[in-house]
């Protein structure tokens, strides 16, 4: 698996012409290292959702090629479907999977948006985490009036000017590009052809109308049945089961029933596991009881290609060294937070904090992935510094290039442990939370996690400061010195609170 992995889920405004869908998917597949995981076409929506993953550069290229060919093959002036849309490629969300921060994902969105605007001359709007304008965070606001209204307003209404590209529409329409966390596309069909029933239920359950948090919903007609079409943006807070039961309740009020439901695209295993646990009222269930998870653990432990990182630390090579060990300690702290969260979730005694623990679980697993990646990232940064010192210095030009390379690589070598310290402070805060509300039987594990997080922050701080000492840009040095000092001060305060919590709950 690549060090960095990102998911892209473009929505194309075509489903009734399979040959067009095939051409789009073939263009995406043609990019090296791209894996198409799934695609879903709905003729009533007249929309196809493709899911693919790969390294960032390749994913961006695959998305660009998909947008390009869709613009050539799909004419919005003749397009019709029950799903709202602005363009031939309507929306292109990116989701960081591993080794990618949300900040990096946002940068990719901006780069792709600029490229689509400049090279394809298609207007681009940025949404969710990538939005440059607060009013465009919400996808529904950007889509208001769809292609037909945007065609009229894009040249005359300043609020509808795109983030990139021309202020005019071609038959390809506009593209909406954004970065977000994983969501679940979930549809529920009713046993009626009365679309008003679906619209009434959608209004009742969606967050914007005062319904369920993290639920977006529309009512529409699909396959001759009324459908409640939804996006669940945080399944940790609002589960599939909660949504389904709420729709069932609303349907009974209207004297209709649920006919069936469907998932569009891929869904996290945890979301289905939570649904099964809730429905079956399983007590003290653990993910370790799932056969496939246990088998995967065996497979990973027996994988001979995994290098023992402790052997690497112990070797005579200068890297990985202290910076990598800081990231490793932070990853271990995050892993322990995950453990405490799992020992608390689905326990009757802690039912009132289960939702909070699920969110902590999600955060700690993301942090663990990021910090694990930075074990290697720190080593790579150090190796770049060493390489810059080996550059030739016979001529003045070579000396200048060498000096510039040393400055740039040393600055990067300071930024990497700075990021580690920032993530580990967040881990430390999660340690305090699980110590305060988590399973009392795991209280010392929460304390141990806090100790590892503090070790990570201190070790990262050493590595930031040693690299800053070699930089000549005084403004940058002062700014980063202040930044690392603030991180360490915040960590000290959180550690004090953690120790007080441990003492209060009998963990010391």
Task: Cite the active site residues.
Answer: 83, 378
d(CA 324, CA 310): 11
For strands 35-42 and 47-54, give the pairing. Answer: antiparallel
Token pair recorded at residue 178: 């954004």
Residues in Cβ contact with 54 at an 8 Å cutoff, skipping those fewer than 6 apart: 2, 5, 6, 31, 33, 34, 35, 62
d(CA 328, CA 426): 15
| Main-chain phi, psi angles of 143, to 5 degrees | -80, 0
Contact between 116 and 67 (Cβ < 8 Å): yes
| CA angle at 213 for the pair 207 and 216, rounded to the nearest 5° | 45
Contact between 165 and 117 (Cβ < 8 Å): yes
d(CA 227, CA 507): 52
DSSP 177-223: EEE----EEEEEEESS--HHHHHHHHHHHSGGGTSSTTEEEEEEEET
d(CA 406, CA 410): 6
DSSP 449-482: HHHHHHHHHHHHHHHHHHHHTT---HHHHHHHHH
Token pair recorded at residue 158: 């300043």
d(CA 109, CA 253): 43
d(CA 259, CA 218): 17
d(CA 190, CA 438): 40
């Amino acid at each position: 698996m690549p060090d960095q992995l990102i998911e892209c889920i473009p929505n194309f405004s075509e489903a009734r012409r399979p040959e067009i869908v095939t051409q789009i998917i073939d263009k995406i597949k043609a990019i090296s290292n791209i894996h198409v995981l799934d695609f879903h076409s709905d003729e009533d929506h007249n929309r196809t959702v493709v899911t693919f993953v790969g390294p960032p550069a390749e994913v961006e290229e695959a998305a660009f090629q998909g947008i390009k060919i869709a613009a050539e093959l799909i004419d919005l002036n003749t397009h019709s479907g029950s799903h709202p849309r602005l363009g031939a490629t309507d929306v292109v969300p990116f989701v960081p999977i591993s080794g990618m921060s949300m900040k990096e994902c946002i940068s990719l969105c901006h780069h792709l948006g600029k490229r689509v605007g400049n090279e394809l001359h298609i207007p681009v709007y940025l949404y969710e985490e990538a939005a440059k304008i607060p009013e465009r965070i919400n996808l529904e606001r950007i889509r208001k009036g769809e292609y037909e209204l945007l065609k009229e307003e894009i040249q005359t209404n300043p609020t509808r000017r795109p983030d990139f590209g021309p202020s005019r529409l071609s038959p390809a329409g506009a593209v909406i590009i954004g970065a977000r966390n994983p969501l679940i596309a979930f549809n529920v069909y009713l046993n009626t052809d009365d679309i008003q029933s679906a619209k009434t239920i959608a209004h009742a359950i969606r967050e914007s109308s005062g319904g369920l948090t993290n639920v977006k919903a529309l009512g529409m007609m699909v396959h001759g049945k009324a459908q409640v079409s939804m996006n669940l943006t945080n399944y940790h807070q609002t589960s599939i089961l909660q949504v389904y039961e709420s729709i069932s309740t609303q349907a009974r009020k209207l004297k209709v029933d649920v006919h069936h439901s469907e998932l569009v695209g891929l869904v996290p295993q945890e979301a289905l596991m939570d649904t099964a646990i809730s429905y079956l009222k399983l007590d003290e269930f653990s993910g370790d009881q799932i056969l496939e998870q246990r088998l995967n653990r065996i497979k990973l432990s027996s994988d001979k290609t995994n290098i023992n990182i402790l052997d690497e630390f112990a070797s005579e090579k200068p890297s990985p060294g202290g910076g990598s060990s800081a990231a490793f300690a932070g990853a271990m702290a995050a892993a322990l937070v995950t453990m405490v969260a799992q020992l608390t979730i689905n326990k009757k005694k802690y039912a009132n904090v289960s939702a909070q623990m699920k969110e902590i679980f999600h955060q700690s697993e993301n942090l663990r992935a990021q910090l694990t990646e930075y074990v290697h990232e720190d080593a790579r940064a150090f190796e770049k510094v060493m390489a810059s010192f080996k550059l030739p210095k016979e001529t003045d030009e070579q000396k200048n290039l060498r000096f510039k390379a040393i400055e740039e690589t040393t600055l990067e070598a300071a930024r990497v442990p700075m990021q580690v310290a920032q993530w580990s402070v967040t881990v430390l805060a999660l340690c305090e939370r699980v110590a305060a509300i988590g399973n009392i039987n795991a209280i010392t594990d929460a304390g141990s996690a806090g100790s590892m997080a503090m070790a990570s922050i201190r070790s990262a701080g050493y590595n930031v400061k040693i690299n800053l000492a070699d930089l000549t840009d005084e403004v940058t040095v002062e700014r980063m010195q202040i930044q690392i000092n603030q991180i360490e001060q915040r960590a000290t305060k959180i550690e004090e609170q953690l120790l007080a919590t441990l003492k209060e709950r009998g963990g010391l």
